[in-house]
Chain A
Amino acid sequence: MIQWDSFLKTFDTGSGLWNPLVWATVIVIALLIVYIIRSFGKKEYKEGTEQTKPFLSGNPEGDKEKMHVKGSNLYWGFMESMKWGFDQLTKIHTGNVSDYILWFVVIMGILFIFIVGVF
């Protein structure tokens, strides 16, 4: 039914080629080389001194549990600068099921004008 050597073919999109097995082999070899170079180590590294503590621009480090950035505080800059867009989107998403059917009737009307009315 399926030939066994067709498992190794390259994936041919209309305008490009992609072979995941070659990619995986190259990545594994590259990661191996990186690991070998990393395991040589540095001479200036002393464990247990000031070098290994986290550096927070001179601020004192608090309780470990409270230092974890919570889910809704990531990407704060992006959310603040696009606040107008996000507020509009949230206002549209009410929980009201009548509004859902209203959008359905609106889309049906637009499609009606498009397919039946104009053409």
Chain B
Amino acid sequence: MIYNIPYFAVIGLIIIGLYAVLFKRNLIKMVIGITLIESGVNLFLITLGYREGSTAPIYTLSPGGIMSMPVPQALTLTSIVIGVAVLALMLSFIIHIYRHYKTLDVGKIGGDEE
């Protein structure tokens, strides 16, 4: 049962992140919500590769025994790098938006067309 706690943490992180994106009106809080969802998905990927009583999957000077799976670790690294790039792009957009609209309220940057 104790090995299922990371899965509950994943569901909790995704729900809190979705709550922040849906119901908060500040742009920066929305970006933090997206980062929370991304952390939840990365945690899910890492947890899939764990085997009970295993060590790190490195061959040199290994203490023996079974090793955890290395493929999800590579996938998670790729996903973390993509998340950092998207976060940098979103924050630079927020700087431009603040310079023009003078507000960080998501309801007011909607524009004034039909």
Interface residues of A (CB under 8 A from B): 90, 93-98, 101-102, 105
B111 contacts partner chain A, Cβ-Cβ < 8 Å: yes
Of B3-11, B18-26, B69-77, B81-89, which binds chain A? B18-26
- A95–B111 touching, CB < 8 Å: yes
The interface size of chain B toward A, counting residues with CB under 8 Å, comes to 13
Interface pair A96/B110, CB less than 8 Å apart: yes
Q: Is the CB of A97 within 8 A of B106?
A: yes
Nearest opposing residue in chain B for A95, CB measure = B110
Are the CB atoms of A105 and B30 closer together than 8 Å?
no
How long is the Cα–Cα vector from A105 to B109 in the complex, in angstroms? 22
Interface residues of B in 95-112 (CB under 8 A from A): 106-107, 109-111
Whether B22 and A98, one on each chain, are in contact in the complex, defined by CB atoms closer than 8 angstroms, is yes
Main secondary structure of the interface of A (DSSP, over half): helix
Contacts of A93 in B (CB 8 A): 114
Residue numbers in A under 8 Å from B106 (CB-CB): 96-98
Return the contact of B18 from the options A94, A95, A96, A105 (Cβ within 8 A). Answer: A105
A93 to B24, CA, bound (A): 19
Task: Kindly identify which residue among A90, A94, A95, A105 contacts B22, using a CB–CB cutoff of 8 Å.
Answer: A105
Q: Closest A-chain residue to B107, C-beta based?
A: A96
Residue contact A98 to B110, C-beta cutoff 8 Å: no
Residue pairs across A and B with Cβ atoms less than 8 A apart, 26 shown, are A90-B114, A93-B114, A94-B107, A94-B110, A95-B107, A95-B109, A95-B110, A95-B111, A96-B106, A96-B107, A96-B110, A97-B30, A97-B106, A98-B21, A98-B22, A98-B23, A98-B24, A98-B25, A98-B30, A98-B106, A101-B18, A101-B21, A101-B22, A102-B22, A105-B18, A105-B22
